[in-house]
Structure 1
Amino acid sequence: MTLRAEGVSRSAGGRLILDGVDLTPRRGGTTGVLGPNGSGKSTLLRLLAGVLSPARGVVTLDGCPMGELRRRAVAKRVAVVEQQADTQVELTVADVVRLGRVPHRSAWRPGSPEDEEAVATALERTGLTGHAERSWHTLSGGERQRVQVARALAQRPRELLLDEPTNHLDIQHQLDLLALVAALPLTAVVALHDLNLAAMYCDDLLVLRRGRVVARGAPADVLTEELIAHVYRVRADVTPSGPGGRPHIRFLGTLPPSGPEGAPASHEHLA
């Protein structure tokens, strides 16, 4: 067993953000969470991390409700990479990555050889070994994102949650980062905007629209021209490409507004 969300709902400011969402990521696989801005992707990840509590439904870790677990116990298992992170404290890249070891240490205890090994491995995996002594404040946005991924890897989690991890990265580092995540021997849930990246690197997809699940399944089954039109209001040409016939999407233009309730097409049969 691993992370699981069962019928979770969450509201903010009187607006329903998530409405009865179920998600059971495949153990050891990479699950992509897709949807337009405001569809509930970030909120779902925060529920899975235990940062937020659902108004209805439950999130469990190995069958135990997240609310019944100690925060340190969750932090040892579940690592989170947010969209943006900053600090006013003067830290080096290595210092930031060492923060990933905090759940594994007693307060004020110095780092152990195991901690330093985890940090060195995380820096190497993310291509940051040569930047270990650079100041955080001198890094570009893309470099900071890679450091946050390294911090999460230093945590040595079994579940990894990433909220738009490719933001601010150039194309090479987008591909490198998602290839790294997909190859890791852990369960990953990644919120993404780029449908082609999701098709290339995710084993399973969950698509949200206005807080509800409209499709789930393998990329080839989910990323259809009909679904893209319904969810994103965009015309697209979808063709099989690469190993396993993973879909490649070519965008052709936007569609006119569909009215207050959206297009009538439904993909609930995939959910």
Structure 2
Amino acid sequence: MTDSTAETPGTEPPATVETPGTESPATAEAAPGLRADRVSRRTDGRLIVDGITLTLRPGETVGLLGPNGSGKSTLLRLLAGILAPSAGIVTLDGRALPRVGRRATARRIATVEQHAHTQTELTVREVVALGRIPHRRAWASASAADTRAVDAALERSGLTGRAGQSWHTLSGGERQRTQIARALAQEPRELLLDEPTNHLDIQHQLDLLDLVVSLPIATVIALHDLNLAAMYCDRLLVLREGHVVAEGTPGDVLTPSLIKRVYDVQAEVTHGPGHPAIRFLRRAPKP
């Protein structure tokens, strides 16, 4: 099972390119929380993320939008410290992530990736308990605090009744809830999710996003569905080919002209109570 809190031999160390004077006591004091400052990431000579700046505000939900290949997943991995920026810096409370340290970062930042797999026979409780790894010394047994955190995460995710069930017998929606419960067991203040609604039916999409936005933590969530982003996100960051093309509230960002520019499709946007609604227009049939 993919677990961002575990340290696996051979994984890339979360180093950051820094220049003298990048970080100072004044900066740390002025920049609480998680922040990306002009971060770029180059892979195989290709610029995947180009000069993106993002500051998370306490308790808000930020949606990352953009077509496949726009840099959403890479930006999330940069924010988590899983990847190192080629340029720029990611800070947590004003300190560069490498200076914070991998274990301390994992106590603060939890990630849920698109797919989780395991060949090991684990119960739901055992999967959720993986979230306590950053809080324990190697080989130490679970403490009372660990047990309380796992119990609370299971309850918050509606999985208490399935705690003893095998991971392999869960539906897709239940697996995603289990991964969110694992992240909650970390007791993070920042949560990063990479397209968690993929392959879920509509009911499970809404249930999962209801859970995510109910959490009193800052969240960044990559989504494909523009209507879900409009319904659930406080702020949107729209990417195209690694660049930010728009940032703001769903009502400000989701316009027909932006949807055409980024996705190359025609859409109508109506503004009812609460959030905009997007209706995509069918292309005219080719002669």
**Is the TM value for this pair above 0.5?**
yes
Is it true that 1:94 corresponds to 2:145 in the alignment?
Answer: no
What TM-score results when the alignment is normalised by the length of structure 1? 0.91
Aligned residues: 254
Alignment partner, residue 218 of structure 2: 187
Alignment partner, residue 234 of structure 1: 265
Secondary structure of the 1:216 match is strand
Is it true that 1:209 corresponds to 2:240 in the alignment?
Answer: yes
- Superposition pairs of residues 27-176 of structure 1, within 5 angstroms: 27-176=58-207
CA distance in 1, matches of 2:185, 2:201: 23
CA distance in 2, matches of 1:50, 1:158: 15
**Ranges in structure 1 where 5+ consecutive residues have no aligned partner:** 257-271
CA distance in 1, matches of 2:223, 2:143: 35
- The Cα of 1:168 is off from its aligned counterpart by 2.4
Alignment partner, residue 49 of structure 2: 18
Alignment partner, residue 276 of structure 2: 247
- Counterpart contact for 1:233–1:255, Cα < 8 Å: no
Secondary structure of the 1:26 match is coil
Secondary structure of the 1:156 match is coil
- The Cα of 1:52 is off from its aligned counterpart by 0.3
Percent identical pairs in the alignment equals 67
- Counterpart contact for 1:98–1:119, Cα < 8 Å: yes
Secondary structure of the 1:80 match is strand
Aligned Cα root-mean-square deviation (Å): 1.4
Alignment partner, residue 269 of structure 1: none
- The Cα of 1:106 is off from its aligned counterpart by 1.5
Secondary structure of the 1:253 match is coil
Q: Deviations over 1:106-156 (max 9, x none)?
A: 122211222112111211222211111111122222221111111001111
CA distance in 2, matches of 1:43, 1:7: 14
Secondary structure of the 2:266 match is strand
C-alpha change, 1:255 and 1:9, in structure 2 (3 Å) is farther
What TM-score results when the alignment is normalised by the length of structure 2? 0.86
Q: Deviations over 1:189-210 (max 9, x none)?
A: 0011111111011000000000
- The Cα of 1:255 is off from its aligned counterpart by 9.1
- Counterpart contact for 1:235–1:255, Cα < 8 Å: no
Is it true that 1:177 corresponds to 2:208 in the alignment?
Answer: yes
- The Cα of 1:242 is off from its aligned counterpart by 2.9
- The Cα of 1:27 is off from its aligned counterpart by 1.7
C-alpha change, 1:254 and 1:109, in structure 2 (3 Å) is farther
- Counterpart contact for 1:237–1:250, Cα < 8 Å: yes
CA distance in 1, matches of 2:47, 2:172: 32
